[in-house]
């Protein structure tokens, strides 16, 4: 039967993509904006794109496949990585716990001796960077403060690493580490810039649904390099993170508002020394939680968000301006009310009238 005779006029035929697989045709309605695949006997399969009216197909059962937008699907081969965490403070430990729980081999180095904590997490702690690099990790993850990142990276004996090591960072700003990696690392190293947009406080009950931003800045073409990068990203995907691929520049533009603004408001509120009361409203509870969430991160982190994201300066000026505008609106209104009370409708001052 000719398809054109059974399909409505607003239905378009497109060549099927190579990823489309056919399934039995059962439903007669094609939702708007979706596509189905129908094999045409003597030719290759065609994809039918629905228009805005649901067509009724009067055809024998045929294979059908609804094409949904595909989420990021990473290779699921359970590749185990050897991951070296440089900077084993608050956030480094938080990440390492999950890496180890997923069965990856985790090594760590920090200027402070965290060997006891490391042992409890199943992580091998090194107090010497040379010894750590000689372990030839697949991934070297930089998790130091933003302010110390450059000094730490410069001090790493990268000549002891395998030439193809994948460098990853989790700094809360992105253009800065991207440029730093591109400037300081030899071209043989792969570079993946990431920002898990959560921390030990907001991610303490799991990472499901929390955003994970990444930018594959420089990943070699070979299968093993591509696979290694995917295996690393898969750690976060397995935990249910919302994977968002975004350029470092775009991240910084967006994060200034999302992150720096949140931290600034939290820290300003902290200066008011707010206390919980017996009559807390939901809104007030939200403010108290914001103070708790933002101030549990180090001041160094907050400072890094300001210094190393060029968009933060503009944002703090806007915030200042917005507070001034708000104050002006309130005081103008207050003055208006006072003026009305001072002068009666005849325009005489109430003081004169009293005399
Ligand atoms: P942080 O105060 O930003 O960084 C602490 C880490 O930096 C510790 O490992 C510390 O090592 C190291 N460090 C600081 N100054 C150093 C120096 N002069 N030389 C060598 N190492 C130095 O707090 P954090 O929360 O652990 O954050 C680590 C990184 O993760 C930051 O880049 C941050 O932006 C990013 N991040 C944090 C969160 C979060 O929620 N906390 C979320 C996403 C991304 P020692 O402990 O050995 O002193």
Q: For every one of its 355 residues, what pLDDT tens digit does the chain have, with 9 covering 90 and above?
A: 333 333 333 333 333 333 333 333 333 333 333 333 333 333 333 333 333 333 333 334 444 443 443 443 444 457 899 999 999 999 999 999 999 999 999 999 999 999 999 999 999 999 999 999 999 999 999 999 999 999 999 999 999 999 999 999 999 999 999 999 999 999 999 999 999 999 998 999 999 999 999 999 999 999 999 999 999 999 999 999 999 999 999 999 999 889 999 999 999 999 999 999 999 999 999 999 999 999 999 999 999 999 999 999 999 999 999 999 999 999 999 998 888 888 766 666 666 655 5
Residue 29: which residues within 8 A CB-CB, separation 6 or more?
54, 55, 56
Residues of the chain with CATH 3.40.50.720: 82-246
Whether 298 lines ligand 1, by a CB cut-off of 6 Å, is: yes
Q: Please give the C-alpha separations between residue 195 and each of 6, 91, 95, 192, in angstroms, as whole numbers.
A: 51, 12, 12, 10
Structure tokens at 352: 């004169």
Whether 88 lines ligand 1, by a CB cut-off of 6 Å, is: yes
Stated pTM of the model:
0.76
Third-level CATH fold of 82-246: Rossmann fold (3.40.50)
21 Cα–ligand 1 center, Å: 47
Q: Please work out, in degrees rounded to the nearest 5, the angle formed at the alpha carbon of residue 51 by the alpha carbons of 50 and 53.
A: 105
Query: Residue of the nearest CA to atom 27 in ligand 1?
Result: 91
Interatomic CA distance for residues 102 and 169, integer angstroms: 19
87 Cα–ligand 1 center, Å: 6
Whether 152 lines ligand 1, by a CB cut-off of 6 Å, is: yes
Determine phi and psi for 169, rounding to 5 degrees: -125, 160
Are 37 and 45 a contacting pair, CB within 8 Å?
A: yes
Interatomic CA distance for residues 78 and 235, integer angstroms: 9
Q: Which of 144, 197, 266 to mutate to test the pocket of ligand 1 (most atoms within 8 A of CB)?
A: 144
Are 177 and 190 a contacting pair, CB within 8 Å?
A: no
Whether 111 lines ligand 1, by a CB cut-off of 6 Å, is: yes
144 Cα–ligand 1 center, Å: 4
Interatomic CA distance for residues 25 and 7, integer angstroms: 14
Question: In what helix (H) or strand (E) does residue 181 lie, and over which residues does it extend?
Answer: helix 175-184
Beta strands in 166-306 (DSSP E): 166-169, 190-196, 211-218, 242-245
């Amino acid at each position: 039967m000719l398809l054109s005779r059974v399909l409505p006029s607003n239905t378009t035929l497109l060549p099927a993509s190579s990823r489309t697989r056919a399934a039995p045709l059962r439903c007669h309605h094609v939702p708007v904006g979706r596509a189905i695949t129908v094999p045409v006997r003597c030719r290759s399969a065609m994809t039918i794109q629905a228009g805005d009216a649901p067509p009724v197909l009067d055809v024998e059962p045929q294979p059908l496949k609804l094409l949904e937008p595909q989420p990021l699907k990473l290779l699921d081969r359970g590749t185990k990585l050897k991951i070296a965490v440089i900077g084993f403070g608050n956030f480094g430990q938080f990440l390492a716990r999950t890496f180890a729980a997923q069965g990856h081999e985790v090594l760590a180095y920090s200027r402070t001796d965290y060997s006891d904590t490391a042992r409890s997490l199943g992580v091998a702690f090194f107090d010497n960077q040379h010894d750590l690099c000689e372990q030839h990790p697949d991934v070297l993850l930089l998790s130091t403060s933003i302010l110390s990142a450059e000094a730490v990276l410069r001090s790493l004996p990268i000549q002891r690493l395998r030439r193809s090591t994948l460098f990853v960072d989790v700094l809360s700003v992105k253009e800065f580490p991207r440029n730093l990696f591109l400037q300081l690392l030899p071209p043989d190293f792969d570079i993946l810039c990431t920002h898990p947009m959560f921390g030990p406080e907001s991610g303490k009950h799991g990472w499901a649904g929390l955003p994970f931003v990444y930018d594959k800045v420089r990943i070699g073409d070979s299968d093993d390099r591509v696979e290694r990068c995917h295996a690393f990203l898969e750690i976060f995907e397995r935990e249910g993170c919302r994977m968002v691929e975004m350029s470092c520049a775009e991240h910084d533009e967006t994060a200034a508002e999302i992150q720096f603004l949140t931290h600034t408001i939290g820290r300003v509120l902290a200066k008011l020394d707010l206390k919980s009361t017996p009559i807390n409203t939901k809104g007030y509870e939200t403010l108290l939680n914001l103070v708790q969430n933002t101030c549990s991160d180090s001041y160094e982190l907050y400072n890094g968000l300001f210094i190393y994201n060029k968009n933060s300066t503009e944002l703090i000026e806007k915030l200042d301006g917005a507070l001034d505008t708000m104050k002006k609106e309130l005081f103008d209104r207050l003055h208006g009310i006072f003026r009305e009370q001072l002068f009666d409708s005849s325009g005489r001052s109430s003081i004169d009238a009293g005399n």
